[in-house]
Amino acid sequence: MNYLSLDDAARKAELDALYAEYNKIKDEGISLDLSRGKPGADQLDITMGMLGVISHSNDCFTETGFDCRNYGNLDGLPEAKRLFSELLGIAPERIFIGGNSSLNMMYDTIARAMIYGMGEGNTPWSQQGAIKFICLTPGYDRHFAICETFGIDMIPVELREDGPDMDVIRELVQNDPQIKGIWCVPKYSNPSGTVFSDEVVRQFAALKPKAPDFRIFWDNAYAVHDLYDEKVELANIFDLADEYGTTDHILYFASTSKISFPGSGVALLATSEKNMEQIKKIVSVQTIGHDKINQLRHVKYFQNAKGVRRHMRHHAEIIRPKFEAVLTALREDLADTGVARWTEPKGGYFISLDVTTGSAKRVWNLAKEVGVTLTNAGASFPYGHDPYDRNLRIAPTYPSLKDVKAAAKVLTLCVRIAALEDLEANK
């Protein structure tokens, strides 16, 4: 039933029917949650073997005889760098292994730029007046929160099917010296699942920014997080940047938060040798080193890139049905209505759902009232402000499959109600 072509009477009848359904669910007193991009407990269970791989003193030494239990080794174990090098296609000398959080490494990177300058010899960002970041939307709320806390102005640019419009990006970056960075989740972008095309990645590498201290924050959070056996390949930004001589522009982040354990994984920052020199100099004052026993756990457990990919197939087996349950509900209940569109990601942790303009908050409230928690409407936009109030981020991984199915049905019901209410109000 296409909602847009209903006459008044038919719309009224449909809305009444949906309200009846809604009230019935309300009476059931459910409590479901599609808001959190967290692995489910069943996913966490598959990595438990990692916690046992280091239990005796003899297990604690690296291949060169370094005792991981003691101080030292600022930038990460060589074997940990090698593992990620193989997995991500980045030269080991460009990799810094950090603590448990890539978000923390991003925040710290910006804090360093504020205080010391981004790149040796450049003026600290805090002394350059109002600076700006380009924020692809919809995007990752925590990226935007970092900008907000540092007082960095955000310029939203729409993320399209294969990445942003690079003409727009180029125009901005090449002309405005106050633009110091752009946030990218280039593969299975949060929340749309977008994968940047080879051409988009090439054009990122080819950027000639006006600001000498401009950086591309390449948050490859879902580098190996495929839902299907058929892998989606992302072009290697370092290879292309090397070709264009722009490697200093690249700040690449990744972590095992959704490979091993969120909160007890291993994060990394990769960048040019020149940038790395400045980073190491500062970080060597900040800390004596990160948790190397945990790095070694990851190396011993996964062994190599193949081991990680094998492990990721287990994750996919668990979460793929959850994604498909949501997509099935969206297709069955909304495809004909003409009042919603959504992405069908091949990986990552989210589905992006666009409802009718001005209805996202209403959908969120309708769902909330009936016991289904969604990510706040607007969360995927700078300052939490969706200019069209239409986007919702759906996170299907954390609840059980049964709960995902139930929550998705409630979601589609709320979308239909909000759309009809909107049509009714604007008739």
Note the residues at the interface with its own copies (CB under 8 A): 36, 38-39, 41, 44-45, 48, 51-52, 54-57, 60, 67-73, 99-101, 103-104, 107-108, 111, 114-115, 126, 142, 145-146, 148-150, 257, 261-264, 282, 285-294
Complex with its own copies: residue 71 or 426, whichever CB lies closer:
71
Complex with its own copies: residue 25 or 51, whichever CB lies closer:
51
CA angle centred on 32, ends 137 and 227, rounded to 5°: 55
Place of tokens 């309200």: 19
Complex with its own copies: residue 114 or 420, whichever CB lies closer:
114
Give the shortest CB-72-to-its own copies separation in angstroms: 7
Longest dimension (CA), the chain: 79
Alpha-carbon distance 254 to 426, whole Å? 46
Complex with its own copies: residue 262 or 358, whichever CB lies closer:
262
Give the shortest CB-58-to-its own copies separation in angstroms: 10
Alpha-carbon distance 120 to 248, whole Å? 11
Give the shortest CB-19-to-its own copies separation in angstroms: 36
Give the shortest CB-214-to-its own copies separation in angstroms: 20
- Dihedral-angle region of residue 245 (phi above 0 means left; psi in -120 to 50 means alpha; beta otherwise): left
Complex with its own copies: residue 116 or 218, whichever CB lies closer:
116
Alpha-carbon distance 142 to 135, whole Å? 11
Give the shortest CB-336-to-its own copies separation in angstroms: 37
Complex with its own copies: residue 69 or 306, whichever CB lies closer:
69
Please enumerate in sequence order all residues whose Cβ is within 8 A of that of 143, keeping only pairs 6 or more positions apart, or say none: 106, 135, 183, 217, 219
Complex with its own copies: residue 38 or 94, whichever CB lies closer:
38
Q: For residues 397 and 33, is the Cβ–Cβ distance under 8 A? A: no
Give the shortest CB-152-to-its own copies separation in angstroms: 12
Complex with its own copies: residue 274 or 281, whichever CB lies closer:
281
Give the shortest CB-186-to-its own copies separation in angstroms: 21
Give the shortest CB-288-to-its own copies separation in angstroms: 6
Beta-strand pair 163-164/153-160 = antiparallel
